[in-house]
Structure 1
Amino acid sequence: MEKIESLNNLKEVLQPNESVWLLLYKKGSSQSDCAFENYQKAAPKADKIVLCYADVNEVRDIHPEYKITSVPSLLNFEKGTLKNVVKGCHQPEQFNAIFEKVAFVSAGNGEGKPQKNVTVYTTPTCTWCNTIKRHLQENGIRYREVDVSKDQKAAEEMVRRSGQQGVPQTDINGEIIVGFDRNRINTLLGIN
């Protein structure tokens, strides 16, 4: 595992490596310390990928660059481009499953279905939000997460589009799903 000291340092690591994972965390916060500890435990099992970490107490220029508004956040870069963000603390086995799933998805031969545009509207205290995110991750679906408790404009846009204030809400290619409707999500994403 490599400690990242700055955005420039991260870009140096991204340049030669195909798959890089970066855990952004805040040392001293219980969620972040949990994520960091389990990320370290998962690290020995991960091969063919580069695992890095950065403490936002020390490194201040990475999270604004990638619009990360909460930690812990695990960023996945493929060929230097941010492809996925996984938030929260996960067990070592879950981290390994995330690494393997993304490695499996990115190792595809390009004949897969086109990636849909998926946005999940969440809040930090929403348990169903985590269920949706885990479901998407387990099925190799890339998504963007928007924390509506921190982004007033996004919250207003979400309510304008769905007429609902509750989360989770998932936008799949412009179609809004309120709550965790597994069948509808699977149908729209082509998950069997």
Structure 2
Amino acid sequence: MPQKLIQIYTHPTCEDSQALKRFLSEGEVPYNEVDVTESNERRNQLKHDTGNEITPGIVVETKNLFGKKKRNTFSGYSANKGNINRLLH
């Protein structure tokens, strides 16, 4: 099974961010959270990684058995819920 590294960019008042965190926690999916309210650098990293400043920003990096990496990015949870669920399970 491919190894998955998940990084999410969140904002504490964003309902979509909170829904994503609940979804990942309920599914016991490990992730790294970056709160974009803490610095301009973090907001810039969100824009660099996803192409915009929409939260939540989701970056899923998978590595197959041969070490090849693939990166999937999503902006927003509700609109991408199905794709995120398929990618993670």
The TM-score bracket by the shorter chain reads 0.7 to 0.9
1:1-192 equivalence runs, <5 A: 113=1, 115-173=3-61, 174-180=71-77, 181-190=80-89
- Answer 1 or 2: which has greater strand percent: 2
> How far 1:177 sits from its partner (Å)?
0.7
Unaligned runs of 5+ in 1: 1-112
How far, CA to CA, are the matches of 2:87 and 2:27 in structure 1? Answer: 13
How far, CA to CA, are the matches of 2:50 and 2:23 in structure 1? Answer: 22
Inter-CA distance 134–171: structure 2 relative to 1 (3 Å threshold): same
Contact 1:115 1:141 in 2 (8 A): no
Task: With a CA cutoff of 8 Å and minimum separation of 6, indicate the structure with the bigger relative contact order.
Answer: 2
Structure-1-length-normalised TM-score: 0.38
> How far 1:152 sits from its partner (Å)?
2.0
How far, CA to CA, are the matches of 2:55 and 2:30 in structure 1? Answer: 19
Structure 1 runs, 4 residues or longer, greater than 6 Å off: none
How far, CA to CA, are the matches of 2:3 and 2:31 in structure 1? Answer: 10
Work out the percentage of aligned pairs sharing the same amino acid. 31
Contact 1:120 1:145 in 2 (8 A): yes
Contact 1:122 1:146 in 2 (8 A): yes
> How far 1:115 sits from its partner (Å)?
4.7
How far, CA to CA, are the matches of 1:139 and 1:161 in structure 2? Answer: 24
Secondary structure at the residue paired with 1:117?
strand
Larger Rg: 1
> How far 1:139 sits from its partner (Å)?
0.9
RMSD: 1.4
Contact 2:9 2:36 in 1 (8 A): yes
Aligned residue-pair number:
78
Structure-2-length-normalised TM-score: 0.78
